[in-house]
Amino acid sequence: MKKKYSIFISSTKLDIGEHRNVVINLVQKKGHIPIAMEFFPSGSEDNKEYISERISECDLFISVVGRNVGHIFDDGCSFVEFELDQAEKFSIPVIGFACDEQEYRNLDHNPDLQRVRNRLLNSGNIRDFFSLESPDSVAKTVGPALDLAIDRMDLDEAAGWIRSKSYSEISNNYRLNITETQSRLLVETVDRIRSYSVIIDRSTNDIDEKKIIAKHFWKNCSTSIFQDSDVKNIFFEASSSCAYISKKLVERFQFEATMQPKNRADISYFTNSSLTFLQFLLLPPQTQFDAKSIKLFPCGSFSERYGEVFGKIHEAAKIPAEKFARSEYLLRPGAKEKCQEVREELLATMSPDNGLIFSSITGVNLNDGGPVGPLVWNYRNCLFKRVLYGSGIPTVLAIDGSKWDYEFKRRQHFPIFTDGLDWLDFLSDKPVAVIFTSKNATKASEISDYFFERGLEEIIDQIHGDTYVSIMFNAPFNERLKVL
């Protein structure tokens, strides 16, 4: 359901009026609502209170800086700088565009113009440059940057505008009336969900990157999974990253009927996450999703705070990280037995030929200190991941930017790849794909090189706003899921 965003156009008219018209027309062509002084009531063009109010109502602020900064108010502040002040005051996202550096050097250096230009440059809000001599040049710079900004607002679930009928239809699907919320049973159920504090907290951290991971994975891989492969069983592990991946799939079920898998009726979904389980279970009837298609695996009760199920692994005695380290990361016999039992249950549910696992980790240790590879905070989570990664079922590791260069701490972390499970063998021999993000270009390149040197190929390498996102996979994964 496409939103329309209100976009404020800030620029002077006398010197770059044609450029300004190009930007206004571009915003309209893309289906959004330009807010510009051309559309203000007569007499309000220099009314600071009115301008401030209009900016406060916007979803995005475009600043186009050319030869000057317009009228100077009595307090010495220019028109353009006042508008920029208001955007920052109301925390409106800003994307800026300035004239070419060579053209700028040839202008008379107005200190007000220099100050505004430097503010945009120093804040990182300048997206590109345009030619003062060519109004069409601004379309080539503003267009791509505007698309990225809109994608970012969609990911951030910015307010925007939706037709009232559509909004009512959506609201009616999810509204609880007063008498229902007074039900003790419902209150206790909601309180139980709230008690899963860890997964709730993690689902609110690094949201942008987790949403980018989910969006780009399904955008690039849904056809190969649902149309071209033999996948019949999909497992979403309990993690906030995997919850966003399952959420994006649920959204496709709801709103993108043309993207439904052709063999959807034959696919079963499994999870050990209370959050993902509820996402599927509470799909509206019009999606025609069979609730029997989502199952908990393994069987058992949800853990406190995490809201996850580990099955028989819950029976394995918990040990602190420091004690695990003192044992040289060797599993106790009882823990090994429980892992083997749960792995046998998993392989009785799905096989390497028809299954797909989505997983995430707390961090990745790629340095020499401590065992190399993924690590987690929780011993039972460590054991369960060993079950998944040792199964031979194709696995997608979702790793957002906060997970890289994790400092390994013996007293806190549980490394997964120990005691017969080897990280490098996993990357080369087991069917594995990695989708990762980073906001640092150098770090993104280093991560890509790391996996490339270990035999993984790249299917996408893109920039989404200020975030780099890549999907890489090894030959066994491609053989099973035909991503290329």
Each residue's pLDDT tens digit, 418-467:
999 999 999 999 999 999 999 888 889 999 999 999 999 988 788 877 88
pLDDT attached to residue 317 = 75
Among residues of the chain, what percentage have pLDDT more than 70?
Answer: 83
Q: What is the CATH number of domain 200-481?
A: 3.40.50.1360
Q: Which one of 18-27, 45-54, 160-169 scores highest in mean pLDDT?
A: 18-27
pLDDT attached to residue 183 = 55
pLDDT attached to residue 404 = 81
pLDDT attached to residue 19 = 94
Name the β-bridge partners of 150: none
pLDDT attached to residue 453 = 93
Asked if 8 and 64 count as a contact pair (C-beta separation under 8 A), the reply is no
Give domain limits for the chain. Answer: 6-155, 200-481
pLDDT attached to residue 175 = 44
Task: State pLDDT tens for residues 211-266.
Answer: 889 988 988 888 888 877 889 999 999 988 998 899 888 877 665 544 444 445 67
pLDDT attached to residue 257 = 45
For 368, the token pair is: 């020499």
pLDDT attached to residue 408 = 78
As a whole number of angstroms, the distance between CA 63 and CA 146 comes to: 12
pLDDT attached to residue 448 = 92
Domain 6-155 and domain 200-481 have a common topology: yes
The phi, psi pair for 363, rounded to 5°, reads: -165, 170
- With b for 16 or more beta-carbon neighbours within 10 A and e for fewer, the 206-227 pattern comes to bebbbbbbbbbbbebbbebbbe
Asked if 327 and 317 count as a contact pair (C-beta separation under 8 A), the reply is no
In this structure, which topology does domain 6-155 adopt according to CATH?
Rossmann fold (3.40.50)
Residue 122 clears pLDDT 80, i.e. is over it? yes
